[in-house]
Amino acid sequence: MLLTKKRALALSAILATSALALTGCSGAGGAKQDVTLTLATVSNPQMKDMEELKGEFESANPSIKVNFVQMEEGDLRAAVTADVASGAGQYDIVTVGAYEVPQWGANGWLQDLTPALKADATYDVEDILPPVRDALSVDGKQYAVPFYGESSILMYNKEMLAAAGVTISNNPTWQEVATAAQAVKDQGIADSGICLRGKPGWGDLFAPLTTVVQTFGGSWYDMDWNAQVNSPEFTEAVTFYKDLLANAGQADPVSYSFTECLNLLQEGKTAMWYDASVAASILEDAKTSKVAGKMGYAHAPTYKTAESGWLWSWNLAVPESSKNKEAADKFVLWATSKDYQQLVGKTLGWTRVPPGARISTYEIPEYKEAAAAFAPITLEVMSSVNPSQPGVNPQPWVGIQYVTIPEFQDVGNQVAQLVADAIAGRISVADALNKGQEIAQKAGDAHKK
């Protein structure tokens, strides 16, 4: 077992080749005449459809190639923020949530798309749902275009509620929902009456919970950026949410967010679910869902406000640091155009048309037919929510289930961790919210005029 000279030679040969291979790899990629766009996006089904259809765009624009980089939501935020904030310019097109667009736009990180949108006569920018569009604009400049949008609705299993002898109106109150959930649970019709998100995170637990807080009359901040987290209304809302989960909710709530609840409902293990409206199209897919055709849909439950749905959109934007802005603009407009929606409908099926971005989507006859169960209510809710004042009192920012300040995702996350502790019964709701108040106030102080 001696290492002979031959072996040593072979070893150094391997080393040399691998070194060569390495330099070769790093050298490749340049020296192309055509434009290659790198698009960062979140790994949701609608985006996977977009990747599937990008060939149509590429054959219409032979000099442009589009590379998709899909990431899980948290990863996308981390990677894209680092890139865009530093001006590294690795991505030509980025997928940005409604929460970030106005902040990034104001920071000068995103290209103002208004001229490009106006220049394209067929694009019809007025067709974009007004609340969605407002959320993407700062001082009349639009920094992103919505790829799809959503609100939150109450989804319920009609058979189960009928078996429990309860009904849900089209505009239910939270009390009504709690009673129905309790009835289902008490009569043993399902393991739980309702599924609600409990996973700590501003975009997980606090997406639905903030809308509950608002309809209970609470808010994160008042007009002067004083934190309101331990106010009686906020406390009442969190206590209600916690009790509802404890009395009629799913087991192990802290594990649950969108996908987990989706499974539970699809498998017929719970009767109701309050979450994003896009869930409806998955629930109605007879291929994967056991409850297709059995579902009813209602407006987000309310208490003191008329509506309580949230508003979210995933949008496409072009960073200022992109070196291929012109080509990038072209793709962004293509992917959010009316033609793209027709393309999705015709090639992949009409239920897969990205919802909640354009009014005209809801006028396509094929879509209206295919999505009859959930399309009307989605449009209805999305046009009736008010991002400028979703709660009882006025607020100094535009946005429903989030606060448009950079600190919010941190504040939301930390308070969500505390509330999760309260849901698990490790601390009281009051203690959790008192601590949360301190965290929120620190962030609010930075915005006091």
Partner 1 sequence: MRRFKSGLTTTITWILVLLFFFPIAWMFMTAFKSEADAASIPPKFFFTPTLDQFQIVFDRGMGSFLLNSFTSSIASTLIVLLLAIPAAYALSIRPVKKVQDSLFFFISTRFMPVAASILPIFFILKFMGLLDNITALTFLYAAMNLPIAVWMMRSFFNEVPMEIIEAAQIDGANFRTELVKVVLPIVVPGIAAVALICFIFSWNEYFMALLLTTDTARTTPPFLASFVDGRGQFLAVLSAASTIAVLPVIIAGWAAQKQLVRGLAMGAVK
Partner 2 sequence: MTTIVQKPGAQAVPPVGQAEKKKVRLSRSLILPALIFALVLTQIPFLVTIYFSMLNWNQLYPNEVGFNWFANYVTVFTGPDFLSSLGATVLITGSSVVLSLLFGLGFAILLDRKFPGQAIARTLLITPFLIMPAAAALIWKWSMLDANVGMVNFALTTLGLPPVAWNTDLPAVTIIMLLTWQFTPFMMLILLAGLQSQSKDVLEAASVDGSGPIRTFQWITLPHMRQYIEIATLLGSIMLLQVFDPIAIMTKGTGGTKTLSYLLYERAFIGLDVGQAAAFGVVTVFITILVATIALRTLFKVFMNGGDR
Q: Which helix (H) or strand (E) holds 149?
A: strand 145-150
- Grouping H, G, I as helix, E, B as strand and the rest as coil, residue 423 is helix
With CB cut-offs between 5 and 8 Å by kind, which of partner 2, partner 1, none does residue 200 bind?
A: partner 2
Among 354, 380, 363, 403, which Cα is nearest to 152's?
380
Q: Report 78-97 residues binding partner 1 (CB under 8 A).
A: 78-79, 82-83, 86, 88, 90-91
Say if residues 128 and 358 touch (Cβ distance below 8 Å): yes
Q: How far is CA 192 from CA 95, 243, 250, 282, in A?
A: 36, 13, 5, 21
Cβ proximity to partner 1: between 109 and 258 the closer is 258
With CB cut-offs between 5 and 8 Å by kind, which of partner 1, partner 2, none does residue 424 bind?
A: partner 2
Say if residues 171 and 303 touch (Cβ distance below 8 Å): no
Q: Is 251 in the site for partner 2 (CB under 8 A)?
A: yes
Contacts of 168 (CB under 8 A, 6+ apart): 154, 156, 161, 176, 177, 180, 272, 296, 298
Q: Is 103 in the site for partner 2 (CB under 8 A)?
A: yes
Binding partner 1 (rule: CB under 8 A), the pick from 34, 75, 224, 438 is: 75
Q: DSSP secondary-structure letter at 362?
A: G
Q: DSSP secondary-structure letter at 104?
A: H
Binding partner 2 (rule: CB under 8 A), the pick from 73, 320, 410, 431 is: 410
Show the site string, 51-70: x = touches partner 1 by CB under 8 A, - = not.
Answer: ----------------x-xx
Q: Report 323-362 residues binding partner 1 (CB under 8 A).
A: none
Beta bridge partners, 298, equal: 154
Q: Report 364-403 residues binding partner 1 (CB under 8 A).
A: none
Q: Is 255 in the site for partner 1 (CB under 8 A)?
A: no
Region from 56-64, 271-279, 323-331, 413-421 binding partner 1, contact rule CB under 8 A: 271-279
Distance CA 11, CA 446 (A): 60
Cβ proximity to partner 1: between 61 and 70 the closer is 70
Max distance between CA atoms of the chain, in angstroms, equals: 86
Q: Is 250 in the site for partner 1 (CB under 8 A)?
A: no
Instruction: Decide the pairing of beta strands 270-276 and 192-195.
Output: parallel
Q: Which helix (H) or strand (E) holds 84?
A: helix 73-86
Q: Is 416 in the site for partner 1 (CB under 8 A)?
A: no
CA angle 264, 269, 273 (to 5 degrees): 60
Q: DSSP secondary-structure letter at 253?
A: G
Binding partner 2 (rule: CB under 8 A), the pick from 237, 362, 421, 436 is: 421
Say if residues 84 and 321 touch (Cβ distance below 8 Å): yes
What residues line the site for partner 1 (CB under 8 A)? 1-3, 8, 14-15, 18-19, 21-23, 25-26, 28-29, 38, 40, 42-46, 67, 69-73, 75, 78-79, 82-83, 86, 88, 90-91, 258-259, 262-264, 266-267, 269, 276, 278-279, 282, 287-288
What residues line the site for partner 2 (CB under 8 A)? 74, 77-78, 81-82, 85, 103, 107, 109, 191, 198-201, 204, 250-255, 260, 263-264, 267, 269, 406-407, 409-410, 413, 416-417, 420-421, 423-426
